[in-house]
Amino acid sequence: MAMNTYLMRKQWMSLGDDFVFNSTEEDGEGVAFTVDNKILHLRETYYMGDADGNTLYKIMERNIPNHRVVIYDDDEEKVAVVRKRGDGTYWAHVDDERDLFVSGDVESGDMTFSNVGGLNVARMTDAWLFAIGDMKQIDIRADQEDSLILAVTVACQYLAGDEGDDDDDDEEQIGLGAILFASAYLLRNAWLSIGDDFVINKIGGEDVGWYVNHKALRLRQYYHLENEDGDTILKIRERVAPRHRMIIEDPDGEKVAVVRKRG
């Protein structure tokens, strides 16, 4: 059976950075797929695209009710749910017939992929086809979906530090979690470092709820609270005289609230 081969650097395990899957063209330097880590999201989120910049998959962490990585297509349709099982192997649930099972030392990048019939369909090993240092080689059977297997590779790598579990995923709990946290928000401790822009993240639904844009060029502290589309919802500005207050105004400059610290 013919195989399609891809290369990637061992440093791909350093999550938080963008990286690429190289094709075997141009002596292993041709770009086949790109993976873009969206660091503004509270949950780890990656966008996997082809060499032309077209988004193929969104690979997103899910914490409720169990730690999983969910793979969506460009239309936000769920393609696969990847989990680490109690025995240390990985299961990418696609549609029963196309499910993938992964075994091996994922943290070191030595992995074997098999289908529901137990046939090995892909493997990751140290690169041997090209004399390029610090590279891993991924060989995929030509009758498989290369991009999906590579997306599952990213998901497994992210789950490598989990203990693993064999719990059933309760779809009602997943839906309930989205409802319970639909209007709940989180922000990082670092937001207290006044002078920087930051985001207020949503727990349920889309990750980024609001952007806070600090207007650092003004003499008084001045912030714009913006939605995901960049529209200003509220202006928050400091007032010094006659007493120190924070004034909240709408986009037209109409006062909405005055905030003070009481004695």
Three-state secondary structure along 11-63?
HHHCCCCCEEEECCCHHHCCEEEEEEECCCCCCCEEEEEECCCCEEEEEEEEC
Q: What is the pLDDT of residue 181?
A: 44
CA geometry: angle 90, 94, 96, nearest 5 deg: 95
How far is Cα 128 from Cα 209, in angstroms, rounded to an integer? 46
* Cis check: omega of the bond before 251, within 30 degrees of 0: no
pLDDT tens by residue, 84-141? 999 999 999 998 789 999 999 988 888 999 999 999 999 988 887 665 567 788 899 9
How far is Cα 186 from Cα 38, in angstroms, rounded to an integer? 17
Q: What is the pLDDT of residue 51?
A: 82
Per-residue pLDDT at 196 exceeds 70:
no
Write down how long the chain is: 263
Per-residue pLDDT at 241 exceeds 80:
no
Q: Cα-flanking dihedrals φ and ψ of residue 243, to 5°?
A: -135, 160
Check: CB of residue 113 under 8 Å from CB of residue 125.
no
Q: What is the pLDDT of residue 161?
A: 85
Q: 138 has which bridge partners? A: 6, 124
* Residue 76 identity: E
How far is Cα 76 from Cα 130, in angstroms, rounded to an integer? 36
**Which of the 8 DSSP states describes residue 205?**
S
User: Comparing C-alpha atoms, which of 34, 58, 68, 93 is closest to residue 164?
Assistant: 68
Higher pLDDT, residue 88 or 10? 88
pTM above 0.75, yes or no: no
Using pLDDT thresholds of 50, 70 and 90, give the confidence band for residue 43.
low
Q: What is the pLDDT of residue 221?
A: 67
Q: What is the pLDDT of residue 41?
A: 44
Per-residue pLDDT at 76 exceeds 90:
no
User: Comparing C-alpha atoms, which of 36, 40, 35, 29 is closest to residue 6?
Assistant: 29
Q: What is the pLDDT of residue 25?
A: 66
Higher pLDDT, residue 150 or 43? 150
Higher pLDDT, residue 200 or 136? 136
Q: What is the pLDDT of residue 10?
A: 55
